Structure 1
Amino acid sequence: MPDRDAPPGTVIASRAIQAGAEARFERWADELQAAARDAAGYLGAIQLRQTQGLQHLVFRFERETDARAWREGDRFRALAAAADDFSAGLDQMQAGDPVRFEAPNDNAAVGWKRFVTTWIAVFPVLLAISSVMRWLLAGLPPALQLLPSSLILTAVLQWVILPRLQRWSRFWLLQDGDGKLRTN
């Protein structure tokens, strides 16, 4: 007989998906949700698309023991291992009502990784823009040559480079030393 006093359980599976692997992730998410529906005590699931390439699947179970059994079961572990081929993940579980999770987000990116990826993207653009401006505005003082260079570089960064760079590198930026997603 089920323990009516046992607290409910919630599992959240967060994934940073490699660029280009979105279709694989969607198939995997469908499989994970089917596995949860087959588990004892399953109540429901929610898929949250936080930002492009970062998603969370939230599963609710009648009891903490049901959630724990599903999360520690062979089917969940096999699916999580399969997802590691195209995403970095973090699986969390809590008991009770309400529950609070710290979700991985872009602010958790490792600083040196963000620096390296940004520098690699900015350097060639900066070199090209500054070379063209020095040629076009050769007679002007360096500060006046830098004015249009800085405006062009800032615009290209804001609307072209950084959105693509973030999508391409998020999978790597948010990983800790063990390959799991960071939350802070």
Structure 2
Amino acid sequence: MSHVTSADNDTDRAVTVVISRRVKPGSEAEFEKLSTAMSMAATKFPGHLGSNMFRPATAEDPEYRIVFKFRTQEDLEHWQNSSVRLAHLDSFEKLLVAPAKTEVLSGMVTWFTLPTQNPVKPPPKYKMTVVSWLALYPTVSIIFLVFGGLLEPVPLLLRTMMITGILMPLMSYVLMPRFTRWFAFWLYPKQEQNRS
């Protein structure tokens, strides 16, 4: 189940929070209903960029993962500290085997999340660095090849601002989602996914 909205396209400071919850056997349907209501409530808060629920992958991994994304850390904290969220938490706390575990992801890590991966666990930093470079190098080369002549007379600082202004949205919305899928076999080896 997923629910996604687009509160803002500025993802430079976007923060993703992953919440893991173990649900008592037989309480799954009630938990999913209450969790969906909580996710819908979050959409009304400033900076909300989307949410997803990942159901338990296997009997050996019975946790639900709920992923929220907010535009900034401040927006996330506003939601986390709200009376609305706390009221929703109270409503399904009795359905949980143990207290929820929370992990906050930000920066480059948020580029490396597979929609089907459960749990959302970032790959090693060296792998993220290599795949980011593989996306950046040809893209920057193409930008200079196509626009190099036009950009040459532009002052250095302005030229850099223009190139990075093109590059960052490309990386966030076009390149990294594709490169993450293409290199999933290396970023997320099956044996590691099975151990997660």
Task: Give the TM bin, normalised by the shorter chain.
Answer: 0.3 to 0.5
TM-score with structure 1 setting the length:
0.47
- Which structure has the higher relative contact order (CA within 8 Å, separation 6+)? 1
- Return the index of the structure with the highest Cα Rg: 1
TM-score, length basis structure 2: 0.45
